[in-house]
Amino acid sequence: MNFKQFIQDYFTFSRNERKGITILLVIIFLLAVANKVIFYFETPAKIDIDLLDTARSEMILFNDSIDDLVAENKFFRFNPNTIDRDALDSLSIPEGVKRNLLKFREKGGKFYSETDFRKIYGVTDAIFNQLAPFLVFENKIVQTTPIKNQSDLFLFDPNTASDNDFIRLGLKEKQIQTIRNYQSKVGTFRNTTDFFKIYGISETQKKILADYIVIGEKGNVKIEKVAEVAKRQIEINAADSIELMKLPGIGDKLSKRIVKYRDLLGGFHTLDQLKEVYGLNEDVIRRMDEFITVDPKRIRKVDLNFAEWNELAKHPYIQKNTANQIIKFRTKYGSIQKSSVLLDSMILNIDEYARLKPYL
């Protein structure tokens, strides 16, 4: 059989076959057109008003109970590299995240920072933001031996501090003796760097003591400022970085971080949000607590209808992906009258909406 004969046998159609193919093509075309135009003849289904009102009532009750649900969550400081299954089960995080964490470790994986933990499959922004303050890593673990009781931390001048003062700060006898030897041979400490050159003071101790060291006249001024703060409270949403430095345990870096994070948020609505400021540990927050107040009325609200994408995306509780969804939603449906629509349309989950609600 030659090629020409092959073509004739397999690609030549009879009259009836040609009719069948034509009819089939017409049917396919009509179905395609019908699929496009049927939408215009479709009658919208009737809305059950009673059912809708019931659902909204349940949603309102559910939103009001969000704070209670969040309060029931159990979190504690833990090292993701060493935590066992029993302790992991005590954490209020999804089972899938726990399972993926253990699988990652079983394969030889190791967490070195919060960024590594964030990469675990299933760890959403909401979960990460809740757990971040409680994550501890080998290179960041605060050991108990250098500082026996962190509540004994206080402002001190190493040039005038007594042996008892150093003991209260958690230093050992050998470290104190080294300090005395330095003073007898060299003299006074001119700055914090001089003090940290003392042999035997660990990096952990340096990090803890750094904000409490005051030397010379500058130190006396700072102590006086702390005493001044004790007489009146600072409103956290109105204070600048210089005023925040008057608080115990707050140096130049931490004060600027607090102001920067506050400006990104639009203001604090609770003092618990200070835990979200990088480098601000719970002990310092506890020491600040009696000197600061928070006025939620000073919060700068997020304008969901007119805020541009970059303004939404830079908010710590919104992020880029959520900002994209908000822009798309208002472009498609118009202005957003109630913030709860972000929850109803699943742009935000329950946890995300609870955190963002005071800013809407």
pLDDT in tens, 94-123: 888 888 888 888 887 888 888 888 888 888
Between 128 and 69, residue with greater pLDDT: 128
State the pLDDT at residue 332.
Answer: 82
Least confident of 211-225, 262-276, 320-334: 211-225
Least confident of 50-54, 263-267, 284-288: 50-54
pLDDT tens per residue, range 175-196 = 888 888 888 887 888 888 888 8
The percentage of the chain sitting over the pLDDT mark of 90, rounded to a whole number, equals 1
Does the pLDDT of residue 130 top 50, yes or no? yes
Q: How confident is the model at residue 141 (pLDDT cuts 50, 70, 90)?
A: very low
Q: How confident is the model at residue 146 (pLDDT cuts 50, 70, 90)?
A: very low
Task: Report pTM.
Answer: 0.42
> Residues 40-67: what's their mean pLDDT?
55
Question: Around Cβ 146, how many Cβ atoms within 10 Å?
Answer: 21
Does the pLDDT of residue 30 top 50, yes or no? yes
State the pLDDT at residue 41.
Answer: 63
Does the pLDDT of residue 45 top 50, yes or no? yes
Sign, CA torsion 243/245/249/252: positive
Average pLDDT across the chain, whole number = 76
> Residues 219-246: what's their mean pLDDT?
68
Residues 274 and 268: beta-carbon distance below 8 Å: yes
> Residues 309-331: what's their mean pLDDT?
86
Does the pLDDT of residue 309 top 70, yes or no? yes
State the pLDDT at residue 225.
Answer: 52
Q: How confident is the model at residue 152 (pLDDT cuts 50, 70, 90)?
A: low
Does the pLDDT of residue 133 top 60, yes or no? yes
Residues 219 and 189: beta-carbon distance below 8 Å: no
